[in-house]
Copies of this chain bind each other. A is one copy, B any other.
Amino acid sequence: MLPWSADLAGRLDEHVISSELLRGNPLGDPSDRPLWVYVPPGYDAEPDRRYPSVYVIQGYTGHVAMWRNRTPFRQPFIETADGVFARGEAPPAIVIYVDAWTAYGGSQFVDSPGTGRYHSYLCDEVVPWVDARYRTLAGAAHRAIAGKSSGGFGAMITPMLRPDLFGALATHAGDTLYEQCYVHDFGAATRALRAYDGDIWRWWDDFRSRVAFTKEADHALLGVLGVAACFSAREDGAVELPFDPRTAVLRPEVWEQWLAWDPVRMVPRYATALRSLRAIWIDAGKADDFNLDLGAEAFRAALAEVGVPDEVIRFELFEGTHAAIEYRYPLSLAWLCQRISI
């Protein structure tokens, strides 16, 4: 394989979609968004055939153009996904690459007064847009959503909220079990804020004024600020942190808002929706840097608890960390397509 390029058996269409729902979003982010739609080999040759669809969303700080990034000795997911269909490992499907970037690096795929209406954008604008322009099988039974990290979170919650739209999901190291994946970072953030007099906005001003990620604490602070903007912004858009930035003590009322978005804790509330799903892929690296392997275990146990049948679940902890696990995506893609094609 040549490292610097590859031809697709299918076709990737790069669109820009004008979102009404994102217009005037609080961060001033664009409402015209890139939207990439992949059609599998054979799509043009069979003009009457309809296809299942898989929506792919990204982890925190991911934006859609990063799907083209090339790494040595590996292929981008766009190509490995194409390979799944080219080699006939799964029934053909349409794959949609959705962008939900914000100025803070992500949206968690929720509607928030702190960032914008990214959940509604995805469900009420992107899905109909795709269904209108591509020959999809338009029912939830034939529509899946998949992602890693924050994208795995989005893949867990979106079908809970909209089982009418999504009938299957894949979460790779998705954010959940928040006391394990977030609380430790609140400590790191508190330490880092000592240099900013405990004021995260002073850090934010500093961060924007220089090359990003040249200070060690940038990642933890960006994550904390960005996720707070998604989960605990007030109606006027003001962001509230779930901890005292001088002591790391949790602020219970704000922390509760975060916990209300913890997939593990959401499962009982959305049990009916979850029981309606046809396929749920859950995986994570056994040494995930954010303990999301524990979250995967907990999410899987919570599903069992509410009666989601084992047959629809594929669960695996693999050797690995949170990094460089994009080689897992074609595995879940093939598995999902096998289940949502019929």
Q: Decide if B72 touches A61 in the complex (CB within 8 Å).
A: yes
A68 located at the interface, meaning its Cβ lies under 8 Å from any Cβ of chain B in the complex: yes
Closest-CB distance, A179 to chain B (whole angstroms): 5
A99–B65 Cα gap in the complex (Å)? 22
A123 located at the interface, meaning its Cβ lies under 8 Å from any Cβ of chain B in the complex: no
Closest-CB distance, A319 to chain B (whole angstroms): 7
A191 located at the interface, meaning its Cβ lies under 8 Å from any Cβ of chain B in the complex: yes
Residue from B34, B70, B73, B105 in contact with A213 in the complex, judged by beta carbons closer than 8 Å = B73
Q: Decide if A70 touches B66 in the complex (CB within 8 Å).
A: yes
Considering only CB atoms and an 8 Å cut-off, how many residues of chain A contact the other chain?
Answer: 55
Q: Decide if B249 touches A301 in the complex (CB within 8 Å).
A: yes
Residue from B101, B177, B186, B327 in contact with A249 in the complex, judged by beta carbons closer than 8 Å = B177
In chain A, positions 274-318 with a C-beta closer than 8 Å to chain B are 286-287, 291, 293-294, 297-298, 301
Known pairs A62-B72, A184-B184, A298-B249; A99 contacts B4 (CB<8 A): yes
A209 located at the interface, meaning its Cβ lies under 8 Å from any Cβ of chain B in the complex: no
A72–B43 Cα gap in the complex (Å)? 33
A246 located at the interface, meaning its Cβ lies under 8 Å from any Cβ of chain B in the complex: yes
Question: Mostly helix, strand, loop or mixed at chain A's interface?
Answer: loop
* Closest B residue to A293 using CB positions: B191
Q: Decide if B214 touches A320 in the complex (CB within 8 Å).
A: yes
* Closest B residue to A80 using CB positions: B211
A11 located at the interface, meaning its Cβ lies under 8 Å from any Cβ of chain B in the complex: no
Q: Decide if B297 touches A246 in the complex (CB within 8 Å).
A: yes
A213–B73 Cα gap in the complex (Å)? 8
Q: Decide if B180 touches A286 in the complex (CB within 8 Å).
A: no
Q: Decide if A63 touches B248 in the complex (CB within 8 Å).
A: no
Known pairs A4-B63, A180-B183; A298 contacts B70 (CB<8 A): no
Closest-CB distance, A328 to chain B (whole angstroms): 9
Q: Decide if B61 touches A73 in the complex (CB within 8 Å).
A: yes
Closest-CB distance, A84 to chain B (whole angstroms): 14
Residue pairs across A and B with Cβ atoms less than 8 A apart, 5 shown, are A69-B70, A74-B213, A177-B247, A191-B286, A248-B291
**Chain A residues at the B interface, C-beta cutoff of 8 Å:** 2-5, 30, 34, 61-66, 68-74, 99, 101, 105, 177, 179-180, 183-184, 186-187, 190-191, 194, 211-214, 244, 246-250, 264, 286-287, 291, 293-294, 297-298, 301, 319-320, 324, 327
Q: Which 4 residue pairs are nearest across A and B when measured between Cβ atoms?
A: A73-B212, A4-B65, A61-B72, A247-B298
